[in-house]
C-alpha cells in the first residue's frame, strides 16, 4: 500500500534532504523540508534565528513547520535532526505516515557535518557532536517504523529502497477506543 506521507528522520548529515528529494520524485510526492520551511518563514538562516531567538525560538518555528508539513497527504517530510525530540512533533509525525530513520555511522556523519562551523549552532566541537549522537540515536531508533542505512547507496538507490520498503509496511492499527 502506498503510504499517506513518508517522514524522514536522522542526525544532522544523514542526508534527509537529498534522499527526501529523490524519494519525492520516486513517489510523485511533494517534499517538505522543515529547516527550509523555518528559514523561509523567518526570513533568516538558522544561525541567525539561533542568535536572535535562541533555540526555543527555533523549536517553536520548527513545530509550526512540522504541523504544516504533516497537513494533507502525498508529502515527503524531511525533518531537521532535532524535530522528533519534541513530544508534540513526535505525535504529529507519527500520525502523518511511516517514519524512516536514515542511520549513518558516527564517522560518516562527522565527515559530513561542519563541526564548529557557522551553520551548525548545536555542534561547536567534537564533544558536543558525540554527546548529541549518543543522546539521540535511541530516540531515532524507537521512533522509526523503518531504518535504512544512509551510507548504503546513492540517494537514488536509497529512495528506491525506501519506496519499496514503505509499501510493504502494515498499515498503522487504529487504536481509537470507542465506547
Ligand atoms: C538540528 C538539525 C538541523 C537544524 C538545526 C537543529 C538538530 O537540521 O534543524 O540546526 O537539532 O539536530 P539538519 O538535521 O537538517 O541538519
145: in domain: yes
177: in domain: no
Q: How confident is the model at residue 174 (pLDDT cuts 50, 70, 90)?
A: low
178: in domain: no
The C-alpha atoms of residue 153 and residue 155 are separated, in whole angstroms, by: 7
Please say whether the beta carbons of 146 and 157 come within 8 A.
no
The count of structural domains within the chain is 1
User: In angstroms, what is the span from residue 2 Cα to ligand 1's centroid?
Assistant: 28
152: in domain: yes
pLDDT higher than 90, residue 141: yes
172: in domain: no
> Which residue's CA lies nearest to atom 5 of ligand 1?
80
Please say whether the beta carbons of 27 and 158 come within 8 A.
no
Instruction: Report the chain's C-alpha Rg in angstroms.
Output: 16
User: In angstroms, what is the span from residue 65 Cα to ligand 1's centroid?
Assistant: 13
CA distances from 31 to 3, 22, 99, 154 (A): 14, 9, 15, 18
179: in domain: no
pLDDT for 90: 97
User: In angstroms, what is the span from residue 83 Cα to ligand 1's centroid?
Assistant: 8
Q: How confident is the model at residue 108 (pLDDT cuts 50, 70, 90)?
A: very high
Q: Which CATH number fits the domain that encloses residue 63?
A: 3.40.50.300
175: in domain: no
9: in domain: yes
pLDDT digits (tens, 9 = 90+) for 7-51: 999 999 999 999 999 999 999 999 999 999 999 999 999 999 999
Atom of ligand 1 nearest to the CA of 34: 9
Torsional class of 64: left (φ above 0), alpha (ψ -120 to 50), beta (otherwise) = alpha
Query: Would you give the distance in Å from CA 64 to the centre of its chain?
Result: 15
* Ligand 1 pocket member 123 (CB < 6 A): no
User: In angstroms, what is the span from residue 119 Cα to ligand 1's centroid?
Assistant: 10
What residues make up the domain containing 98? 5-167
Q: Model pTM?
A: 0.95
Amino acid at each position: 500500500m502506498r503510504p499517506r506521507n513518508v517522514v524522514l528522520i536522522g542526525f544532522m548529515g544523514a542526508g534527509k534532504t537529498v534522499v527526501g528529494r529523490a524519494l519525492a520524485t520516486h513517489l510523485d510526492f511533494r517534499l517538505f523540508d522543515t529547516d527550509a520551511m523555518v528559514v523561509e518563514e523567518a526570513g533568516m538562516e538558522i544561525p541567525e534565528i539561533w542568535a536572535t531567538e535562541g533555540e526555543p525560538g527555533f523549536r517553536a518555528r520548527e513545530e509550526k513547520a512540522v504541523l504544516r508539513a504533516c497537513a494533507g497527504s502525498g508529502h515527503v517530510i524531511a525533518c531537521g535532526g532535532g524535530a522528533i525530540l519534541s513530544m508534540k512533533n513526535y505525535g504529529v509525525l507519527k500520525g502523518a505516515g511511516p517514519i524512516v530513520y536514515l542511520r549513518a555511522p558516527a564517522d560518516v556523519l562527522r565527515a559530513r557535518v561542519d563541526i564548529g562551523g557557522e551553520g551548525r549552532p548545536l555542534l561547536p566541537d567534537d564533544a558536543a557532536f558525540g554527546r548529541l549522537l549518543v543522546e539521540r540515536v535511541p530516540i531515532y531508533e524507537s521512533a522509526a517504523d523503518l531504518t535504512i542505512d544512509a551510507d548504503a547507496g546513492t540517494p537514488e538507490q536509497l529512495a528506491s529502497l525506501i519506496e519499496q520498503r514503505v509499501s510493504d509496511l502494515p498499515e498503522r492499527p487504529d487504536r481509537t477506543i470507542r465506547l
